Every structure is written in structure tokens, then in C-alpha cells.
Amino acid sequence: MPIALEIISPEKLLLARDVDMVVLPGTEGDLGILPGHSKLITGLRGGLVDIYEKNTITDRFFVSGGFAEITETHCAVLADAIIRQADLDPAAARAAVSEAQAAYDAVDMMDRDAYREVSDRLISAQAMVDSISPQRADKV
């Protein structure tokens, strides 16, 4: 019995199909979603969404954040930004970390909203770098 998965970006529906399991980068840790999962709405941090069919990862997407809505039969991932892992650009990912680090270094730590925003941006940028396969990361 599969679970219906939808992955939605701000621009379009990227994926809609039945899968055996999906692993999401939740804000409190990774979540394995199987058919029959308890109802849940959770925030997503930057990281990989792994899609499983027959105990094998068939697709991997990097999400920069967003949230997921889960029921017993359905999982909807609403991503701030999403890209297939294979399409991640190592140079662009490293540049995003540099830009995020500069913003973090310059933020007023007393401004909680600004601090949270730049720290989330830095965490997501580093997660993107970490999500690039080692074979591709060396080819910059």
C-alpha cells in the first residue's frame, strides 16, 4: 500500500505519484513517512527529500525550507525552493554559503527576526553544499 506524494514549488507541481516511503528534512530532524503515518504538519529545513520505491531511493530533491502536510494516505511537500539533487551546482552552492556567511557576520544579533532569517539562510546554504554528491563536489 503506497502513500500519495506531491512535491510543490512556488512555481508548479513538480511531482505527484504513489511511493513506498519518503524521508523529509524536518525542522526537528529527519522524518520517515510511510502509509498509515499519523497526521502531521511540520516545517522543513534545508536538506534532501528522499523518495523510496521498493527499498531503493529513486529520486532525491534538495529543499531550502517550507513545510509538509502528512495524513495516513498522503504527503504534500510545499517547498520554498526545490531542485533535483543531480541538478545542484557545486559552485553556486559554495557561493550561496559565502553570501549567507557574510550576511550572518553583518547581522545585528539583537534583532531576533533578522538573526533568525540569516541563520536559517546559512544553515540552508550549507545543507545544499552537503547535499551535493562527493563525486560532483570535486569538479568545481
CA 124/CA 64 separation, integer angstroms = 6
**CB count in 10 Å sphere of residue 108:** 9
Q: List the chain domain ranges.
A: 3-85, 88-137
Top CATH class of 3-85 equals: mainly beta
Per-residue pLDDT reduced to its tens digit, 32-89: 999 999 999 999 999 999 999 999 999 999 999 999 999 999 999 999 999 999 999 9
SS3 content of the chain, % helix, strand, coil (to 5): 30, 40, 25
Helix (H) or strand (E) holding 63: strand 56-63
The percent of residues above 70 in pLDDT, for the chain, comes to 94
CA 86/CA 96 separation, integer angstroms = 17
By the 8 A CB rule, do 43 and 26 touch?
yes
